Amino acid sequence: MTVFDLETPETNDTDNLVWLGHLSPDSDTIGSAIGAAELFGGEPRRAGELNKETAFVMDFCGAELPKMISVVEGQKVGLVDFNQKTQLHPSVDMHDIVAIIDHHAIQDQPVTFNTVISMDIRPWGSAATILADRFEKMGKVPTPSTACVLLAGILSDTLVFESPTTSVFDKPFAEKLAKIAGIDDMYAFGNDMMEAKSDLADVSTYDVLKGDFKHYEINGKKVGYGVAETLRPEQLIERQADLLVEMKGEKAKQGLDFIFFAIVDTKNKTTHLVIYSDAEAELATNAYAATTSNNWMELPGLISRKKQLMPAIQEFLSA
């Protein structure tokens, strides 16, 4: 296979090239796939159904919904917004992966290769920010709809710059993208996105659990960690019993050692963690130095799975 190089896009073979994010597509994953395809060539793909926020973004931005990934002979795959085997669609052969653009740490169960591939992994707030930087450095301007979905990716992953994952690069690039997209008030856009994400009354409990669910393997232990970021936590808090039922089924189905579900109150900056069983209670108590009551653990100030919630679990299991 011809080497694909992010630094020399003019020499790349883009026939049968697709850009793909993780199994639970969010605004950053979808926006980054669309942005990468426009910048480097190829086509964007998705690995699952959209959540309400991302569906709102696609409609607002007037962007075309990427097709579902499928097996294509001779396909080349660029990954965006993840680097773990546990988040890779089963249709993708790891030998087909030619590039990775991501903002997550390389840790448990990373995608591995027999040859060197081109990667761009930075500690920024979103993969979309990295794409925006690459557009600028390559002297290219994204189309308004692509600028819009990239902006959405930044706003979503940084919780409109309130998340501890926010870097110094995110807001400046968001402001540039907003101008290109013709969005006068990106904060209002971000709030509308969060409102769309928060309206889960008509979403099944299983879909709520799996809407933003990631798998990890740490020291041989399999952990599933779902998150719902919402301005209306009460909608989900009152569904605790149903969530516990779905968590029981998912834990057994996936062969997990631990399963967690975090209801992240983005307005009050706190997490209501659903604790499935004694095993999860013991792990969470050690990881977060907090107590469990009635299958709940309250975690004020902890709102980021990437930077706060999972690192504490990983640190304890790795000790």
Q: Could you confirm whether domain 9-196 is CATH 1.10.150.120?
A: no
β-bridge pairing 296-300 and 213-218: unpaired
25-39 per-position pLDDT tens digit = 999 999 999 999 999
271-315 per-position pLDDT tens digit = 999 999 999 999 999 999 999 999 999 999 999 999 999 999 999
Nearest to 160 by CA among 48, 261, 266: 266
Reported confidence tier of residue 115, pLDDT bands at 50, 70, 90: confident
CA distance 63 to 71: 24
Q: Is the pLDDT of residue 189 over 80?
A: yes
What average pLDDT does range 213-242 have in this prediction? 95
Order of all β-strands in the sheet with 17-20: 67-68, 43-46, 17-20, 76-80, 97-102, 118-121
Can you give the pLDDT at residue 219? 92
**112 DSSP 8-state letter:** -
Rg (CA), the chain: 19
Reported confidence tier of residue 251, pLDDT bands at 50, 70, 90: very high
Kindly report the length of the chain. Answer: 319
- The answer to whether the beta carbons of residues 68 and 46 sit under 8 Å apart is yes
Q: Where are the domains of the chain?
A: 9-196, 205-318
What average pLDDT does range 201-223 have in this prediction? 94
Instruction: List the beta strands (DSSP E) in the chain.
Output: 17-20, 43-46, 67-68, 76-80, 97-102, 118-121, 213-218, 221-230, 258-265, 270-275, 296-300
pTM: 0.89
What average pLDDT does range 148-152 have in this prediction? 98
Helices 27-40 and 144-157: angle between axes, nearest 10 degrees: 140
Nearest to 174 by CA among 26, 21, 27: 27
Reported confidence tier of residue 186, pLDDT bands at 50, 70, 90: very high
| Average pLDDT score over the chain | 95
β-bridge pairing 258-265 and 76-80: unpaired
What average pLDDT does range 168-196 have in this prediction? 98
CA distance 117 to 97: 8
CA distance 122 to 118: 13
67-96 per-position pLDDT tens digit = 999 987 889 999 999 999 989 999 999 999
Q: Is the pLDDT of residue 1 over 70?
A: no
CATH class of 205-318: alpha beta
Can you give the pLDDT at residue 297? 98
Q: What percent of the chain has pLDDT over 90?
A: 91
Q: Is the pLDDT of residue 2 over 70?
A: no
